[in-house]
Structure 1
Amino acid sequence: MAEPMTLEAFEEASEIVRKVTSETKLVYSEYFSEQTGNRVYFKPENMQYTGAYKVRGAYYKISTLTPEERERGLIAASAGNHAQGVAYAAKLAGAKATIVMPTTTPLMKVNRTKSYGAEVILHGDVFDEALNYAMALEEERGATFIHPFDDLTVATGQGTISMEIIKELPTVDYILVPIGGGGLCSGVSTLAKLLNPKIKVIGVEPAGAACMKESAKQGQVVELPEINTIADGTAVKRPGEHLFPYIQENVDDFITIEDTELIVAFLDMVENHKMIVENAGLLTVAALKHLNVQKKKIVSILSGGNMDVITMASIVQHGLIQRDRVFTVSVLLPDKPGELAKVSTLLAEEQANVIKLEHNQFISINRNAAVELRITIEAYGTDHKNKIVGALNAAGYRPKLVKSKGTYSD
Structure 2
Amino acid sequence: MGDQGQVSLADIEQAAALIKDIAVLTPMEDSRWLSALTGHPVLLKCENLQRAGSFKIRGAYNRMWHLSEEERARGVVAASAGNHAQGVALAAQTLGIEATIFMPEGAPIPKEKATRGYGAHVVFHGRYLEDSLEEARAFQERTGAVLIHPFDNTQIVTGQGTVGLEILDQAPEVDTVVVPCGGGGLLSGIAIAIKAQRPEVKIIGVQAEGAAAYPESLRAGHPVPLTSMSTMADGIAVGLPGEVPFATVRDLVDEIITVTEASLSRAVLVTLERAKLVVEPAGAAAVAAILDDPARFSSPTVGVLSGGNIDPLLLGKVIQHGMAAAGRYLNLQLRIPDRPGGLAGLLVELGAAGANVIEVSHARIDADLSLDEVEVHLQLETRGESHTETVLARLRECGYRVFE
Question: TM-score by structure 2 length?
Answer: 0.94
Determine the C-alpha separation between the residues in 1 that align with 2:244 and 2:40.
34
Q: Report the CA distance between 1:382 and its aligned residue.
A: 1.8
Describe the shift of the 1:144–1:332 C-alpha distance in structure 2 as closer, same or farther (beyond 3 A).
same
Q: Report the CA distance between 1:146 and its aligned residue.
A: 0.5
Corresponding residue number in structure 2 for 1:296? 299
Alignment length (residue pairs):
399
Determine the C-alpha separation between the residues in 1 that align with 2:361 and 2:369.
19
Corresponding residue number in structure 1 for 2:34? 32
Q: Does 1:326 align with 2:329?
A: yes
Q: Report the CA distance between 1:23 and its aligned residue.
A: 2.1
Q: Report the CA distance between 1:291 and its aligned residue.
A: 6.2
Equivalent AA in structure 2 for residue 271 of structure 1: E
Equivalent AA in structure 2 for residue 249 of structure 1: D
Equivalent AA in structure 1 for residue 15 of structure 2: A
Contact 1:364 1:371 in 2 (8 A): no
Describe the shift of the 1:208–1:328 C-alpha distance in structure 2 as closer, same or farther (beyond 3 A).
closer
Determine the C-alpha separation between the residues in 2 that align with 1:17 and 1:4.
20
* Superimposed CA distance per residue, residues 217-270 of structure 1 (whole angstroms, 9 cap, x where no aligned partner): 121222122222221111111111122222222111111112221111112101
Determine the C-alpha separation between the residues in 2 that align with 1:317 and 1:284.
20
Structure 2 SS opposite 1:180: coil
* Superimposed CA distance per residue, residues 100-125 of structure 1 (whole angstroms, 9 cap, x where no aligned partner): 00002111111111111100010000
Structure 1 SS opposite 2:313: helix
Determine the C-alpha separation between the residues in 1 that align with 2:312 and 2:142.
36
Aligned mate of 1:132, from 131, 134, 137: 134
Equivalent AA in structure 2 for residue 71 of structure 1: A
Corresponding residue number in structure 1 for 2:208? 206
Contact 1:98 1:120 in 2 (8 A): yes
* Superimposed CA distance per residue, residues 332-374 of structure 1 (whole angstroms, 9 cap, x where no aligned partner): 2333322222222222221222222223343469885112222
Aligned mate of 2:308, from 273, 296, 305: 305
Question: TM-score by structure 1 length?
Answer: 0.93
Aligned mate of 1:188, from 184, 187, 190: 190
Corresponding residue number in structure 1 for 2:7? 5
Determine the C-alpha separation between the residues in 1 that align with 2:188 and 2:240.
15
Structure 1 SS opposite 2:264: helix
Which segment drifts farther, 259-268 or 110-119?
A: 259-268
Equivalent AA in structure 2 for residue 104 of structure 1: G
Structure 2 SS opposite 1:42: strand
Q: Does 1:374 align with 2:377?
A: yes
Contact 2:355 2:391 in 1 (8 A): yes
* Superimposed CA distance per residue, residues 6-39 of structure 1 (whole angstroms, 9 cap, x where no aligned partner): 2221111001111111221211101001111221
Structure 2 SS opposite 1:332: strand
Corresponding residue number in structure 2 for 1:226? 228
Q: Report the CA distance between 1:292 and its aligned residue.
A: 4.6
Corresponding residue number in structure 2 for 1:149? 151
Which segment drifts farther, 237-246 or 108-117?
A: 237-246
Corresponding residue number in structure 2 for 1:406? none
Which segment drifts farther, 341-350 or 38-47?
A: 341-350
1:4-403 equivalences under 5 Å are 5-288=7-290, 289-290=292-293, 292-293=295-296, 295-363=298-366, 369-401=372-404
Equivalent AA in structure 1 for residue 323 of structure 2: L
Equivalent AA in structure 2 for residue 262 of structure 1: L
Describe the shift of the 1:365–1:142 C-alpha distance in structure 2 as closer, same or farther (beyond 3 A).
closer
Q: Report the CA distance between 1:397 and its aligned residue.
A: 2.2
Structure 1 SS opposite 2:122: strand
Equivalent AA in structure 2 for residue 325 of structure 1: R
